[in-house]
């Protein structure tokens, strides 16, 4: 298998995850748009992966990003964003989702740990109640100061 094929194999549909789930002891899940990948994202995702033995990233589809961020977003399409995330050695799987929130995806992935950025309060994290009800943890990871996709886009 070529390197690019190996990277692309990490981008999976939810049905494929159902086959893989049992291989991991501690699954960590996070989600986002990841429109302009930057140091803050890389640091956040690496810290998330340190929490378990498998990191699954729910990636907002292009239509979902448009609804959340506006008509001019995303700058990079979902396939490109997924490939960039998959190229990170510590990201195990990427699942693209169409909804505005990852609630349904979280319920299908059934992570042991749900992670979001430090700007979230645990009470406001979508899927937190499901994860905790099923014996999992919900954690936040602080941002790397000075890094934001929105700020990068505004500076262009």
pLDDT tens, the chain, 156 aa long: 899 999 999 999 999 999 999 999 999 999 999 999 989 999 999 999 999 999 999 999 999 999 999 999 999 999 999 999 999 999 999 999 999 999 999 999 999 999 998 888 888 999 999 999 999 999 999 987 776 766 776 767
Q: State the pLDDT at residue 156.
A: 72
Residue reference for tokens 């490939």: 83
Residue 85: which of 140, 27, 141, 42 has the closest Cα?
A: 42
The pTM is what? 0.94
Cα of first residue to Cα of last residue in the chain, in angstroms, is 38
The reported pLDDT for the residue numbered 144 is 77
CATH superfamily of 3-116: HUPs (3.40.50.620)
> The sheet that has 54-60: what strands, in order across it?
93-97, 54-60, 27-32, 113-117, 137-141
Quote the pLDDT of residue 147. 67
Amino acid 132: pLDDT: 97
């Amino acid at each position: 298998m070529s390197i690019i094929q190996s990277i692309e194999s990490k981008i999976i549909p939810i049905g494929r995850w159902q086959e893989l789930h049992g291989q991991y002891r501690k699954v960590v899940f996070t989600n986002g748009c990841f429109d302009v990948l930057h140091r803050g994202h890389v640091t956040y995702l690496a810290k998330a992966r340190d929490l378990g033995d498998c990191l699954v990233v729910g990636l907002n589809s292009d239509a979902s990003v448009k609804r959340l961020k506006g008509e001019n977003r995303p700058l990079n399409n979902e396939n490109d964003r997924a490939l960039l995330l998959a190229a990170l050695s510590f990201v195990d799987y990427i699942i693209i989702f169409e909804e505005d929130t990852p609630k349904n995806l979280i319920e299908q992935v059934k992570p042991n740990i749900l992670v979001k950025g430090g700007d979230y309060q645990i009470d406001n994290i979508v899927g937190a109640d499901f994860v905790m009800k099923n014996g999992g943890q919900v954690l936040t990871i602080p941002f790397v100061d000075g890094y934001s996709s929105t700020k990068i886009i505004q500076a262009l």
